[in-house]
A = this chain, B = another copy of it.
Amino acid sequence: MAEESQVMIGKKPVMNYVVACLTAFNSGAKRVVVKARGRSISRAVDVVELLRRAFLKDLNIEKIEIGTQEMSSPDRPKTNVSTIEISLAKKE
């Protein structure tokens, strides 16, 4: 198992991603990075808050970064979408 694991947040229920994070930590990941784009950003925050409050009391939010990603496709004009990355680690 790699030291760092990533969980990309999509449109599934919040609990699915909470379980994904728990599984990553239980498999030995030292850090889990929760990533989301656009409308899923709110859900990413929900996932981290639920994880921190209900499942892993010793969870530490190491870093929160926001950014912009350019989305381009032949079918539509270029658009910008906001992103978030929340780095989580268990307290030592």
Contacts and interface: CB of A to CB of B under 8 A. Distances in A.
B66 A86 contact: yes
Interface residues of A, number: 21
* Copies of this chain present: 2
Given A53-B68, A64-B66, A82 B46 contact: yes
A71 to B, nearest CB: 13
B61 A49 contact: no
A45 to B, nearest CB: 4
Nearest to A82: B45
A33 B27 CA distance: 38
A66 B42 contact: no
Contacts of A32: none
Given A45-B82, A49-B67, 17 more contacts: A38-B42, A39-B42, A40-B42, A41-B41, A41-B42, A41-B45, A42-B42, A42-B82, A45-B66, A45-B83, A45-B84, A49-B66, A49-B68, A49-B80, A49-B82, A61-B66, A64-B64
